[in-house]
Amino acid sequence: MTGICQHEPMASASASASGAASGAASGAGAGAASGAGAGATGSHGGAGSLAVGTWVVDLDGVIWLAGDPIEGAGAAVGRLQRAGVRVLFATNNAEPTDAELWGRLARAGVTAGADDLVTSAHAAAAMLAPGSTAMSVGGPGVHEALRSRGVRVLSARDDAGVPDAVVVGLTHDFTYDVLRVAATAVRRGARLIGTNDDPTHPTPQGLLPGSGALVAAVATAAEVVPELAGKPYQPMAELVRARAVDVTVVVGDRPATDGVLAQRLGVPYALVRSGVVRSGDPAGSDAEFDYVDLAALVDAVVGP
Ligand SMILES: [Mg+2]
């Protein structure tokens, strides 16, 4: 019933590059922890080699934290763009509409082209054919993406009929009845698509439950393995490739999503410690570059 696309984290990145990066990254972690913001390089050369092409940049924990701009991030994006680097924002946050995300970007001092934003809601919608039906267990961003795709959206309180898919994303409107209706639709034959499986998302108050917790609830109740759309899974990788053929690096605060997406795209990963991973934490990944935040990374690439 379900075409499973839940991929294991990729192990295809070159072992030698990973090993080299691992050792260097741990050194950089110490630098970042001391506040120096020093970076590391693996087998891909110095940070200056990144000053070309398109950067895929995460939002939560990189540009903002729970919507509040991270100091220096907007200006750093501007410096990159003036140096000729395109910035493509890629977020697993499927809850806001595109307009809401653009508003947050503007408040963070960022301007970018209309094609320079991809979300896990976009990736989930792309997994469905125009004209199909989906029950949305998600926020306005999921509804919007499905409708833009030409998918007919059913409410999660709508017991009538079996949709082609149940699409689950982060929402604050998740009750036992929503879980019951969604799981029943999946048991009756609907695909279960999760926008992403991030267990948490970072806020100034700490880590709060993420979309992955809701997807897991529906998957458990329906006893299926969900298909997953966002970082680091294939639908998001395809969406990024469709928007940019010249990706240079993936920048993000979560190695399990941003770092593994970089592997899938075959490009270096730059860890920034302004979100899930903080200064002094173990990197937990083979990040080729490791900086305290986006501003420090951009300083190293194009100068302050
Ligand atoms: Mg993030």
Per-residue pLDDT tens for 93-127? 999 999 999 999 999 999 888 899 999 999 999 99
For residue 12, pLDDT over 90 is answered with: no
60 is catalytic: yes
pLDDT digits (tens, 9 = 90+) for 169-184: 999 999 999 999 999 9
182 CA distance to ligand 1 middle (Å): 27
Question: Does the predicted TM-score (pTM) go above 0.75?
Answer: yes
Q: What pLDDT is attached to residue 158?
A: 63
Q: What is the pLDDT of residues 130-144, one digit of tens each?
A: 999 999 999 999 999
Residue of 58, 98, 286, 290 marked active site:
58
133 CA from centroid of ligand 1 (Å):
30
* Ligand 1 geometric centre to CA of 101 (Å): 14
Let me know if 246 is a catalytic residue: no
Of the candidate ranges 3-12, 129-138, 215-224, 261-270, the one whose mean pLDDT is the lowest: 3-12
Distance 165 CA to ligand 1 centre (A): 27
In the structure, how many helices (H) and strands (E) does the chain have? 10, 15
CA of 166 to the centre of ligand 1 (A): 25
SS3 266: coil
pLDDT at 160: 62
Terminal C-alpha separation, the chain: 53
Q: Determine the distance separating the centroid of ligand 1 and the alpha carbon of 201, expressed in angstroms.
A: 7
Q: What is the mean pLDDT of residues 277-304?
A: 88
Mean pLDDT score across all residues of the chain: 85
| Residues near ion ligand 1 (Cβ under 5 Å) | 58, 60-61, 253-254, 275
Query: Can you tell me the mean pLDDT for 209-238?
Result: 97
Range 66-89 average pLDDT: 94
**Among 68-72, 202-206, 220-224, which range has the highest average pLDDT?**
220-224
Q: Which of 60, 198, 258, 286 is the catalytic position? A: 60
Contact of 210 with 198, CB cutoff 8 Å: yes
38 pLDDT band, cuts 50/70/90, is very low
- Higher local confidence (pLDDT), 154 or 244: 244
231 C-alpha to ligand 1 centroid (Å): 10
Ligand 1: distance of its center to the CA of 206 in Å?
13
Work out the pLDDT band at 37, boundaries 50, 70, 90: very low
Q: Tell how far the Cα of 220 is from the centroid of ligand 1, in angstroms.
A: 26
b/e map of 228-259 (b: 16 or more CB within 10 Å)? bbbbbbbbbbebbeebbeebbbbbbbbbbbbb
* Mean pLDDT confidence for 275-298: 87
Confidence bin at 26 (pLDDT 50/70/90): very low
- Taken in order 11, 122, 102, 115, the sign of the CA dihedral is positive
Neighbouring residues of 103: CB distance < 8 A, sequence distance ≥ 6: none
Q: pLDDT digits over 157-166, tens only?
A: 766 679 999 9
